[in-house]
Amino acid sequence: APAAALLSNASSLSAAECQEKEKPPKATEKKVTKEPKPNKLKPPKATGEKLHQAVHQPASILTRVVTRGQFQKVPDSLTLKAGDTLELRCRGRSVRWRFPAYLKDEDEGRLRCVIKHFERHSQLLVVNSRAADTGEYSCWSFQCRDSECQDGEDRTGKAFIFFTGQELFVPTEDYYEVVQLRTNHPTLLPCQVTSPLAKVTLHREFPPEEVAVDGIDILYDVKRGFVIHRPRPSYAGSLFCMASLAGVRQISTKYMLIYINYPSSAPKPTVSASATTVRAGENFNVTCTVFGEPEVAIDFTWEYPGQQIGRPPYIRERADLARQGGQVQQESESILYIDEARAIDEGLYTCTAMNLQGTTTVSTRVQGPNLLPFSLLPFL
């Protein structure tokens, strides 16, 4: 086969991102119009469920070439041996592909993947396959009319393909991978196996023990890895996956899990001043308070009128547990102190509270008709 360009850094390729091999258009042929034969079939009954399925379940546009001239509908998952050639075809005039990231890499000059575009379909060819090529292969075509193109849900196809070999896990570059355990989001440990028949268990490195997988808090997905749906502090630490198949055992990359009590929403601060109107030379403070979930860090920043002349801020912060509305919450507080107020201290005091979920800003105004030096008051 003629040489083709190596893949670009993107895992989703179009005609402009990969060397194309376009099939020249066929010569125009005269078409003989035949009158359609009358349809003698009776219309289906309106109560049939099969009619509804026939209308809303279009055929997949993704097929596999088994041998020359022999095609196979690609199932949801397919298992091949490492070294086999994979040839997929996607029907459509303008087709894009998505495939595992390892197919992007150049390995000792070997041609990992070739994409060719023809008049009515596109071809993806993987040669000298290996276990690292395991993953999801998908394509979608654009419906083009004149110069406008749009993609539709009925013009997509995908399949998960396993390439079995000596490696039971899809290899990674890192010996350790840091994973955040967020309380508001499931956590994935992507120990992807290369065979659906491998038995996979989850283990803790220190102390060495197997982690129970109950299918509720922790779930195993053969196409993804282990999913922790309810992260807890006890899950933090070094974990790894172990796969066994035909008497062979291998371990995956080790995952360093860091527990983060992720807030459910951005902070909702309130701000108030110890006095709304102050005299020159008096001391006052402005307090910014946030009630939220325990063990959630809140960062405060201030903007105040004295910044214009370089007045340094004097700030004290604290965080304590408090009961509010029948629940135990964390009360985070930042207090900005202003000593010996001057006329420049009159104006808007703005507090910004930030956590991992977002940022909220609130303001209060300190009035100052009396913010004048004491020496000038007798002349009013």
- What are the sequence ranges of the domains in the chain? 62-164, 176-260, 268-366
> Does residue 110 have a pLDDT over 80?
no
Give the chain's length: 380
Query: Which helix or strand (DSSP H or E) is residue 177 part of?
Result: strand 176-182
- CB-CB contact of 335 with 315 (8 Å): yes
Asked, colleague to colleague, whether 62-164 and 176-260 share their fold, the answer is yes
In this prediction, residue 226 has a pLDDT band, given cuts at 50, 70 and 90, of: very high
CA dist list (Å): 16 to 104, 142, 276? 16, 15, 64
pLDDT in the model for residue 92: 79
Residue 18 confidence class, pLDDT cut points 50, 70, 90: very low
Sign of CA dihedral 305, 309, 314, 315: positive
What kind of architecture, by CATH, is found in domain 176-260?
Answer: Sandwich (2.60)
- Residue 194: the pLDDT is 94
Residue 360 tokens, joined: 């909220």
- Average pLDDT of span 38-51: 44
d(CA 284, CA 370): 14
Q: Supply the pLDDT for residue 139.
A: 86
| Average pLDDT over every residue of 214-233 | 92
Q: What is the pLDDT of residue 30?
A: 41
Instruction: Write b or e for each residue in 128-141: b if 16 or more Cβ atoms lie within 10 A of its Cβ, otherwise e.
Output: ebbbbbbbebbbbb
Q: At 351, is the pLDDT very low, low, confident or very high (cuts 50, 70, 90)?
A: very high
pLDDT higher for 355 or 67?
355
pLDDT of residue 35: 45
Mean predicted confidence (pLDDT) in 162-190: 88
Q: Is the per-residue pLDDT at 375 higher than 50?
A: no
45 or 124, which is more confident? 124
Q: Which range has the worst mean pLDDT, 25-34, 211-220, 294-303?
A: 25-34
What's the pLDDT band for 205 if we cut at 50, 70, 90? very high
pLDDT reported for residue 173 = 80
Q: Please state the pTM of the whole predicted model.
A: 0.62
- Segment 305-333 shows an average pLDDT of 88
Tell me the backbone φ, ψ of residue 30, rounded to 5 degrees.
Answer: -75, 130
Does the pLDDT of residue 331 top 80, yes or no?
yes
Report, as an integer, the average pLDDT of 145-157: 60
Q: Give me the CATH code for the 62-164 domain, please.
A: 2.60.40.10
pLDDT (mean) for 226-248: 92
More reliable by pLDDT, 221 or 68: 221
The CATH superfamily of 268-366 is: Immunoglobulins (2.60.40.10)
Is 200 a residue whose pLDDT tops 90? yes
Question: pLDDT exceeding 90 applies to what percent of the chain?
Answer: 37
Sheet containing strand 299-303, strands side by side = 299-303, 347-355, 358-366
Provide the percentage of residues in the chain whose pLDDT is more than 70. Answer: 75
